[in-house]
């Protein structure tokens, strides 16, 4: 086996990618990522020990989160980037270790007696890829073949959950919204996954804490986005094109979009969103730009065709990148934790400055204009502030029976034909059911005309997967307004689509909020062992999706 990865929903045979990722991840990248995560566990040893001694290193804490972010599905495929992250991980770890040991000795009057595990001290002979791969192949998910399957499952569930949490936290940090608890928790979890003394029950308890911290990460990001850019407003987004050179911005990073809008203001270059950047069209701070045209295309997995027909420059600010075709490779730029070998990477911003997007802008000016894919508009901007501003109307509609049920269909989109299920469920729901969505899962139904209920659209799109907090917030506010004791007494069904690890932390957050009876599809995660699945079924009534007919009948019937 040259690699093993089962972190996403499209993993081979729903078991694991062992030769090459279905996503296009080659064994080389898988092993470099495994080595880096192993080293992040080593940093976490010294970070946690250091914190006990009053030693902190905020830059390294953020580095750990960003390096985890780089390993989420479809974020970064560039071996050079991982080699440099591995080098930085070793350097940061050793600096932290030296500081922690010095303080420990000063406080206790004796050399530090901490007993570091191998990942807290191992150093490569050099940073040649061959040297790193030699180690990387021995430290991955299957490194210990004798590990109890439930322990392996819970450790990986924790790691994937904190990858999502790290991504959300990093987005908040990019807007200068910080937290004293989130980054230390990331390290606490990483370290816990090396601790053989923890029982299955201990790990389950940590999974629930990860969900609670996930709620906090999403709350922080919501605060960062809405304080910086205003509350999303109901908006009809143009999905057609306009003449002129153009840049297509994809991924989830709003600050990158903001700086690009500023740097193109007053030029003849138009800006469009793609995939998960669609919700940016609802923010007051971005709507003011005349050259912010609208959204082009659908969700991430359509990008081969859509990036070709777009013709202009393309900026990937985060996941999801799919294998880049030569036809647009020289027009595609990455930034932040995203990367693709051979594509130009826009460097991080220097303190007090913006990122320099001049290369992207120059490419747009020298490239073709976008070819129209479709025409018309789609409604977005139904995040928590919009929904709560019509709360009276919503509550009245619920109490009168005009709205019988909300169906949360948030999450991710993906390539598999089985995801037609979500389109068919959306089409099949009775007219008194309202869909609450967030994330790119929406592209399975957001261009359907499902009408409205007394002016309330039947698809309420709260935004990116990053905006899932809005859905939890609305549920909690409705619970209070309707005087209910239990969140599960709300007329809300959950039919969640997952693909990558941000959806994992959203799921854990929902479980931590006490939500039960969640349908999860198109398949349950391959990293859930039968034993762990049993725990989730027993305590949370987590269910795989069934057929469209079965699930529609159950949802409409309140099950
Ligand atoms: Fe396979 Fe998904 Fe891992 Fe890619 S991210 S290698 S598709 S499990
Ligand atoms: Fe989508 Fe990649 Fe998850 Fe942000 S863009 S929801 S899959």
pLDDT at residue 106, rounded to an integer: 96
Pocket residues: Cβ below 6 A from ligand 1: 5-8, 10-11, 17, 21-23, 25, 73
268 Cα: distance to centroid of ligand 1 (angstroms): 40
Identify the burial level of 67 via C-beta atoms within 10 angstroms of its C-beta, where 0-12 means exposed, 13-18 middle and 19 or more buried. Answer: buried
Q: Over the Cα atoms of the chain, what is R_g? A: 23
pLDDT at residue 558, rounded to an integer: 87
Give the closest residue (by CA) to ligand 1 atom 2: 8
Cβ atoms within 10 Å of 336's Cβ, excluding its own: 26
341 Cα: distance to centroid of ligand 1 (angstroms): 18
Average pLDDT over residues 431-450: 97
Pocket residues: Cβ below 6 A from ligand 2: 74, 252, 275-276, 300, 319-320, 412, 439-440, 464-465, 499-500, 502-503
Give the closest residue (by CA) to ligand 1 atom 6: 21
- Mind listing the domains of the chain with CATH numbers? 1-143 (1.20.1270.20), 235-366 (3.40.50.2030)
Find, among 468, 538, 476, 475, the residue nearest to 503 by Cα: 468
d(CA 87, CA 8): 27
d(CA 380, CA 235): 5
Average pLDDT over residues 523-548: 97
Find, among 192, 123, 117, the residue nearest to 154 by Cα: 192
Ligand nearest to the CA of 14: 1
Give the closest residue (by CA) to ligand 2 atom 3: 412
299 Cα: distance to centroid of ligand 2 (angstroms): 8
pLDDT tens for 62-115 read 999 999 999 999 999 999 999 999 999 999 999 999 999 999 999 999 999 999
Ligand nearest to the CA of 301: 2
Q: What percentage of the chain reaches a pLDDT higher than 90?
A: 99
In this predicted structure, the answer to whether residue 1 has a pLDDT above a threshold of 70 is no
d(CA 36, CA 162): 15
pLDDT at residue 246, rounded to an integer: 98
In this predicted structure, the answer to whether residue 227 has a pLDDT above a threshold of 70 is yes
Average pLDDT over residues 509-528: 97
pLDDT tens for 112-166 read 999 999 999 999 999 999 999 999 999 999 999 999 999 999 999 999 999 999 9
Residue ranges of alpha helices (H) inside 371-467 are 384-389, 391-400, 420-428
In this predicted structure, the answer to whether residue 318 has a pLDDT above a threshold of 90 is yes
Looking at every residue in the chain, the average pLDDT score rounds to 97
pLDDT at residue 244, rounded to an integer: 98
Identify the burial level of 255 via C-beta atoms within 10 angstroms of its C-beta, where 0-12 means exposed, 13-18 middle and 19 or more buried. Answer: buried
CA distances from 457 to 96, 194, 263, 281, 394 (A): 53, 48, 35, 18, 11
3-state secondary structure (DSSP) of residue 282:
helix
pLDDT at residue 555, rounded to an integer: 97
Q: How many CA atoms lie within 13 A of 173 on its CB side?
A: 21
pLDDT tens for 175-222 read 999 999 999 999 999 999 999 999 999 999 999 999 999 999 999 999
Give the closest residue (by CA) to ligand 2 atom 2: 320
pLDDT at residue 393, rounded to an integer: 93
344 Cα: distance to centroid of ligand 1 (angstroms): 24
pLDDT at residue 559, rounded to an integer: 74
In this predicted structure, the answer to whether residue 490 has a pLDDT above a threshold of 90 is yes
């Amino acid at each position: 086996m040259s690699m093993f990865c089962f972190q996403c929903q499209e993993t081979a045979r729903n078991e694991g990618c062992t030769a090459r990722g279905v996503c296009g991840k080659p064994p080389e990248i898988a092993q470099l990522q495994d080595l880096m995560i192993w080293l992040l566990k080593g940093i976490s040893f010294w970070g946690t020990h250091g914190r006990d001694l009053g030693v902190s290193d905020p830059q390294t804490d953020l580095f750990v989160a960003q390096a985890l972010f780089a390993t989420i599905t479809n974020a970064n495929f560039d071996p050079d980037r991982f080699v440099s992250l591995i080098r930085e991980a070793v350097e940061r770890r050793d600096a932290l270790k030296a500081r922690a040991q010095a303080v420990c000795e000063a406080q206790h009057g004796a050399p530090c007696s901490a007993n570091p595990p191998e990942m807290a001290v191992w150093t490569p002979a050099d940073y040649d890829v061959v040297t790193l791969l030699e180690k990387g192949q021995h430290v991955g998910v299957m490194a210990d073949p004798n590990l109890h399957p439930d322990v392996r499952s819970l450790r990986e569930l924790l790691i994937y959950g904190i990858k999502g949490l790290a991504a959300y936290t990093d987005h908040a940090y990019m807007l200068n919204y910080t937290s004293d608890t989130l980054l230390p928790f990331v390290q606490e979890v990483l370290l816990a996954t090396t601790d053989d003394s923890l029982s299955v029950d201990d790990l389950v308890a940590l999974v629930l804490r990860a969900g609670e911290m996930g709620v906090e990460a999403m709350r922080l990001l919501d605060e960062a986005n809405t304080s910086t850019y205003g509350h999303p407003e109901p908006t009809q987004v143009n999905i057609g094109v306009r003449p002129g050179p153009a840049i297509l911005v994809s991924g989830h990073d709003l600050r990158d979009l903001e700086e690009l809008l500023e740097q193109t203001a007053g030029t003849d270059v138009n800006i469009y969103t793609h995939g998960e950047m669609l919700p940016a069209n609802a923010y007051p701070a971005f709507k003011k730009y005349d050259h912010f045209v609208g959204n082009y295309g659908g969700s991430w997995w359509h990008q081969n065709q859509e990036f070709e027909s777009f013709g202009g420059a393309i900026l990937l600010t985060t996941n999801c990148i799919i294998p880049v075709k030569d036809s647009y490779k020289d027009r595609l730029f990455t930034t932040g934790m995203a990367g693709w070998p051979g594509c130009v990477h826009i460097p991080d911003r220097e303190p007090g400055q913006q990122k320099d997007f001049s290369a992207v802008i120059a490419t747009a000016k020298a490239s073709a204009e976008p070819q129209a894919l479709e025409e018309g508009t789609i409604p977005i901007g139904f995040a928590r502030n919009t929904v709560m501003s019509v709360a009276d109307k919503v509550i009245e509609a619920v109490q009168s029976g005009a709205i019988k049920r909300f169906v949360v269909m948030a999450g991710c989109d993906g390539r598999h034909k089985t995801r037609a299920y979500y389109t068919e469920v959306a089409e099949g729901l009775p007219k008194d059911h309202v869909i609450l969505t967030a994330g790119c899962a929406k592209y399975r139904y957001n261009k359907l005309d499902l009408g409205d209920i007394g002016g309330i659209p039947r698809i309420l799109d709260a935004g990116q997967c990053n905006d899932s907090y809005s859905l939890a917030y609305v549920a909690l506010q409705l619970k209070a307004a309707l005087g209910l004791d239990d969140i599960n007494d709300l007329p809300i069904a959950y039919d969640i689509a997952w693909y990558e690890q941000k959806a994992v932390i959203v799921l854990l957050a929902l479980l931590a909020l006490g939500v039960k009876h969640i349908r999860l599809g198109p398949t349950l995660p391959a990293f859930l062992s039968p034993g762990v699945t049993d725990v989730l079924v027993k305590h949370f009534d987590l269910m795989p999706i069934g057929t469209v007919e079965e699930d529609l009948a159950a949802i409409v019937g309140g099950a």
